[in-house]
Structure 1
Amino acid sequence: MPGGSIYVQPNEKYTGSSPQWWYEKFWREDAQNRRRTRYVKAGVAFVIGVALALRFDLTGASPLVGLLLGGIVAAGDWYLDWRSFHATAVWRGARRGEAITGRMLRRSLSRHGYTVLDGRAIRGQASIDHLVIGPSGVWIIDNESWSPDTEIACYAGRLFFSEKYGTKTAKPLVETAEAFAELLTRETRVPVTISPVLAVHCGLLPRGGIVMAEGLILLKPRLAAKVIKSAEGNVLNDEQIELLARTAARELQKV
């Protein structure tokens, strides 16, 4: 794969004529056009900067002001291009979504009394990327990515990925949450309800970065910890959190 990461094993999904492969190929082939456009923008900014300097009687400094404004515009344009490409890294197979989300969760939640367990499964059944246990309750979080132009939205309570229904994505994760909750409740005798979350690494979420539909919360990875911490009330005390975390570590298979 063009520009593939040495840290991620090759996957047939991201090679050959896959959408990911073509996206990266066209992106690199279009680099010259993007640079040309950037130069034009910087040139226009230079002229504007000179004109502004002359307008405010800064004749001697006008070239410097023009160069400064042109440099700022060029740097900003480069950053926006890089950011749009970097946002597709998980979808392209260059990075692992579970590693990104797990790092964010631990950094934001550990100091607030939450335990984060990565890669857990009920033996012989469903698996999830992250199990979070803390004052606001228990959460399971999976990671997914879609093509950059896929619109993720809720209409009349139903989940949509562009024109396609999202039930096949939501239902298994909701059922997994129920199975995990049943196991933890049975083993600890602590009533547990688990909230399922899907961290979306690539795709178009509405303004705010959160969609709630069919019992599932879909959000940008950076918002996961915020949503968990902002949940109403303290559902679990320290003893219950420790018991649930210890039981989960023992009963749930690590994957």
Structure 2
Amino acid sequence: MAMTDRGETGDARGQPPEDRGSLDFREILARPDVRRWLLRVAFAAVVGVLFAIVFDPRVGLTAAVIAVIADTIRKARAGDGGPRTSAAERKTAKQLDGLDKKGWRVLHARSIPRDDDGVSDGQIDHLVIGPTGVFAIDSESWDKRLPVRTLSHTRLFHGPFEKKDRLDEARWEANQASRLLSLALGQEIPVQPSVAIYGPSVPWRVMTVRNVDVYSGGKAKTYLRKRPKVLTDEEVARIADAASKVLPSKFG
């Protein structure tokens, strides 16, 4: 988790430093906002085809457009009402209170900026910078009646539901934070993605699934502290200051 000087020879994947700011097609598809629009378009297409078969193509096209508009309005209304956090986020935030007195910096509800200076739908619930590294924590509240299990460290299930998309989103958010911090500081800044689960029992301390650390929400503070120290106080302060600039608050 230590910072590595990027220098002039390229990053850890063999790419030149100037290429880190660009996004390839796979990274674009991994964006939460892009994926939501793809799902929205797919849903509208299904609606349009069904209405076209039952009635005629013009009715199908109209139904597809209405479906897109209705879903967009529903999402917009769901986001109205000012700053709001989930119960799971508040629980994690409560655990993290007081860490600043022990050399940690915690930033809550940080947005992932777009390349066009807009703000994406991506959000890091808690970005934590401390002696043991930099962590992006997403707090999840799941139905406690359904068990949590993994398969070969590559698949995470909540009851019958696979959580691949949730893990991919957490990893994407952490990767974007790492990219932006590395560009801002001129050094490689790894950011470890993790998911803190509230509700069901999690039958392990920490399990890494698809490169994302997964653990019970009540152990978030222990997860952060029970790791080797890799950053000095000065490095923690530098990274936290940069993070507050490149990852704006979701609530302004």
Q: Which runs of 5+ in 2 are unaligned?
A: 1-85, 114-118
CA drift of 1:189 comes to 1.8
User: When you count helix as a share of all residues, which structure comes out higher?
Assistant: 1
Written as runs of structure 1 = structure 2, the 5 A alignment for 1:5-44 is none
The residue matched to 1:160 in structure 2 has which SS? strand
The alpha-carbon distance between structure 1 residues 112 and 190, as it changes in their structure 2 partners (threshold 3 A), is farther
Shift of 1:192: 1.0
Q: Among residues 89, 101, 104, which one is paired with 1:111 in the alignment?
A: 101
Larger RCO (CA within 8 A; separation ≥ 6)? 2
Task: Choose which of 225, 247, 253 in structure 1 pairs with 2:248.
Answer: 253
Name which one, 1 or 2, has greater alpha-carbon Rg. Answer: 1
Structure 1: 4+ residue segments shifted above 2 A: 109-112, 208-212
Q: Which moved more, 1:156-165 or 1:170-179?
A: 156-165
Q: Does 1:204 align with 2:201?
A: yes
Instruction: Give the Å deviation of 1:159.
Output: 1.3
* Matching of residues 167-186 of structure 1 within 5 Å: 167-186=164-183
Return the alpha-carbon distance in structure 2 between the equivalents of residues 152 and 204 of structure 1.
Answer: 7
Q: How many Å separate the matches in 2 of 1:222 and 1:146? A: 13
Supply the RMSD in Å over aligned alpha carbons: 2.0
1:190/1:134 CA distance change after superposition, 3 Å: farther
Per the alignment, in what secondary structure is the counterpart of residue 172 of structure 2?
A: helix
- Residue deviations 1:153-209, cap 9 Å, x none? 111122112222221110011011011001001101232111111111112311x45
TM-score (norm 1): 0.59
Say yes or no: does 1:100 pair with 2:91: yes
- 1:71 maps to what in 2? none
2:103 and 2:131 in contact (8 A); partners too: yes
- TM-score, length-normalised on structure 2? 0.59
For residues 1-255 of structure 1, what are the structure 2 equivalents within 5 Å? Answer: 96-107=87-98, 109-123=99-113, 124-125=119-120, 126-157=122-153, 158-206=155-203, 208-232=204-228, 234-255=229-250
Stretches of structure 1 lacking an aligned partner (at least 5 in a row): 1-94
Provide the rounded CA distance (Å) in 2 between the counterparts of 1:203 and 1:141. Answer: 18
